[in-house]
């Protein structure tokens, strides 16, 4: 059975890999990805992430829906925080639409 760590960002979620729990002191998925509902850009720490990488709104209504998709998996979490940041950063880059050129035409 996997032990839940209730103060880690992704703890207690439905788990993509039942043998994994969210790694304390990681917080990679709270930093690397865009969370538009919070106005958070990729690479910025979430406003709810504490300096010791815990989620202050875990289990509360203010926690963004996207956080429910942060399920620990070997692919995403890797062997350490740096691997998780790299994997999530690559995913973010691959799923971010290219910026459209701004039009300077006016009427």
* Structural contact between residues 48 and 56, judged by C-beta atoms closer than 8 angstroms: yes
Helix ranges (DSSP H) in 1-107: 74-77, 81-95
Among 76, 80, 89, 96, binds ligand SF4 (CB under 6 A): 76
Cβ-in-10-Å burial (0-12, 13-18, 19+) of 68 comes to: exposed
Which of these ranges, 69-77, 90-98, 99-107, lies near ligand SF4 under the rule CB under 6 A? 69-77
Residues in 4-63 at the binding interface with ligand SF4, rule: CB under 6 A: 9-10, 22-23, 26-30, 35, 46, 48-49, 55, 57, 63
Nearer to ligand SF4, 14 or 98 (CB): 14
* Structural contact between residues 88 and 76, judged by C-beta atoms closer than 8 angstroms: yes
Distance CA 47, CA 35 (A): 11
- In whole angstroms, the minimum distance from the beta carbon of 66 to ligand SF4 comes to 7
- In whole angstroms, the minimum distance from the beta carbon of 82 to ligand SF4 comes to 11
The distance from CA 22 to its chain's CA centroid, rounded to whole angstroms, is 11
Under the rule (CB under 6 A), what is the footprint of ligand SF4? 9-10, 22-23, 26-30, 35, 46, 48-49, 55, 57, 63-64, 67, 70, 72, 76-77, 84
């Amino acid at each position: 059975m996997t032990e839940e760590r209730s103060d880690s960002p992704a703890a207690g979620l439905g788990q993509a890999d039942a043998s994994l729990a969210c790694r304390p002191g990681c917080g990679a998925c709270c930093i690397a990805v865009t969370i538009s509902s919070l106005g958070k850009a990729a690479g910025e720490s979430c406003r709810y992430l504490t300096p010791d990488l815990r989620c202050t709104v875990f289990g509360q209504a203010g926690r963004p829906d996207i956080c429910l998709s942060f399920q620990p998996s070997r692919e995403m979490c890797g062997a350490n925080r740096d691997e998780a940041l790299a994997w999530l950063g690559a995913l973010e880059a691959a799923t971010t639409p290219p910026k459209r050129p701004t039009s300077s035409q006016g009427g």
